[in-house]
Amino acid sequence: MLKAKVIVKLKDTILDPQGKTIHHALETLGYKGIEKLRSGKFFEIYLNTDDKEKAKELVDEICKKILTNPVTEEYYFTIE
């Protein structure tokens, strides 16, 4: 069995109101020195295969078709 760890985030050119809100809340709570904060999503996908190449192809397809909006988001993943 293999595990994919997928991180999805907004492209740098897209405004991140959730990240901005969290950043402001942290400053309000006294956390100083945080230059910038951007939010994202994290997924773990457990795959019933030992073939890393097939797993990479499958996870890439899942990311493109379901987990991301390619207009506003980007992703990367690792296979373990």
- Going from the N-terminus, what domains does the chain have, and what CATH number goes with each? 2-79 (3.30.1280.10)
Residues 7-11: what's their mean pLDDT?
A: 97
Cα gap 8→13, rounded to integer Å: 15
Structure tokens at 67: 């987990």
Helix (H) or strand (E) holding 3: strand 2-10
Cα gap 40→75, rounded to integer Å: 10
pLDDT tens for each residue of 57-66 = 999 999 999 9
pLDDT tens for each residue of 37-54 = 999 999 999 999 999 999
pTM: 0.87
